[in-house]
Amino acid sequence: MLGYRIKLAAVALPLLALTVSAIQAKADETRLLLTGSSTIAPIAEEIAHLYEEKNQDVRIDIQTGGSTKGVIDQRRGLNDIAMVSRRLKPSESDLTAHTFALDGLAMIVHEDNAVEDLSSDDIRAIYTRKKTDWSDFGDDGGEIIIINKSEGRATLDLFLDHFGLIPPDIKPHMVIGENEQGIKAVAGNRSAIGYVAISTAFYDAEHGVAIKLVGLDGVLATVENVANGSYPAIRQLNLVTAGEVSKTTQAFLDFAQSEAVHEILDTFHVVAPSR
């Protein structure tokens, strides 16, 4: 009989330990979960690393899925802070936005593409398939492969707003979710065109990914042009919360909007709003 008790204990004890550790974690106040925009995620990850170094007892987890997902998670209490890479909508007035950086929307093509600049009209014509071949723009890439963002993504909202389009107008060849997925698609396809945050595009182009940022209406997609306001498609990067926030959350929000993170913002080619 003793043998069975030992076996029973061998099964029950780890289970008990698991339960206890699970419950303990629930009471743990020093962890933060950020979910939302894949544009903000890599930047937030670096800021979080720096913050964790300075505050050893805090642990910050970051998960992507798009700005709207961040907002939903925030309302359901699934995260502590939502990452939202656009202005809040009128329907989201219950939330508070903490703008910590400005970014732009960049049109991207494969690095072998000869096109350097496109006008807003060109882009409207491409995305509605009024112009379907790169030869219209002096490149020999053949048929233009249009990459669009899936619905609910902040980058799509910004794109539609800026170019005055609605989703049914756009006739894409490929629909992608995360920013990096769009970059991967363009880097892997000589004839593709897509759009992502300037920050993400710059970061990847610098790290050897085969993409090129195209100028918009004669203005280069650079961090300087975002900073001086001359770039036509600028976006806010927000950390969003609802109602009262915990001390830990507030401390991180303050940190993310402080001078301490400017160096990180520089490496990601975004600018602090105050500059």
Point out which residues bind other proteins (CB under 8 A): 4, 11, 14-15, 18, 21-22, 24-26, 28, 33, 35, 38, 42, 59, 61-63, 65-69, 71-72, 76, 78, 142-143, 145, 150-153, 166-168, 172-175, 177-178, 180-181, 183-184, 187-189, 191-192, 204, 207-209
Q: How many CA atoms lie within 13 A of 191 on its CB side?
A: 15
| Shortest reach from residue 54's CB to other proteins, in Å | 18
* Residues 123, 233: Cα–Cα separation, whole Å: 13
Residue 49: what residue type? H
CB of 273 to other proteins, least distance (A): 25
DSSP helix/strand/coil, 175: strand
As beta bridge partners, residue 174 has 147
Residue whose CB is less far from other proteins, 107 or 196: 196
Helices (H), 28-137: 41-54, 67-76, 120-127
62 versus 239: smaller Cβ distance to other proteins = 62
CA distance 198 to 25: 38
How many other C-beta atoms are found inside a 10 Å radius of the C-beta of residue 228?
11
The residue (of 54 and 76) whose beta carbon lies closer to other proteins is 76
Amino acid letter, 10: A
Which of residues 23 and 54 has its CB atom nearest to other proteins in the complex?
A: 23
Q: Give the residue with the Cβ less far from other proteins, 231 or 269.
A: 269
> Toward other proteins, which CB reaches closer, 107 or 272?
107
* CB neighbour list of residue 183: distance below 8 Å, 6 or more residues apart: 108, 194, 196, 200, 201, 204, 209, 211
Q: Residue 107 CB, nearest distance to other proteins (Å)? A: 17
User: What is the closest distance, in whole angstroms, from the C-beta atom of residue 126 to other proteins in the complex?
Assistant: 15
Min CB(72)–other proteins separation in Å: 6
Q: How many residues does the chain have?
A: 275
Question: Could you tell me the two tokens for 164?
Answer: 């005055």
Sign, CA torsion 249/251/257/260 = negative
Give min distance, CB of 212 to other proteins, in A. Answer: 14
Q: Are 178 and 37 in contact (CB under 8 A)?
A: no
CB of 26 to other proteins, least distance (A): 6
62 or 253: whose CB is closer to other proteins? 62
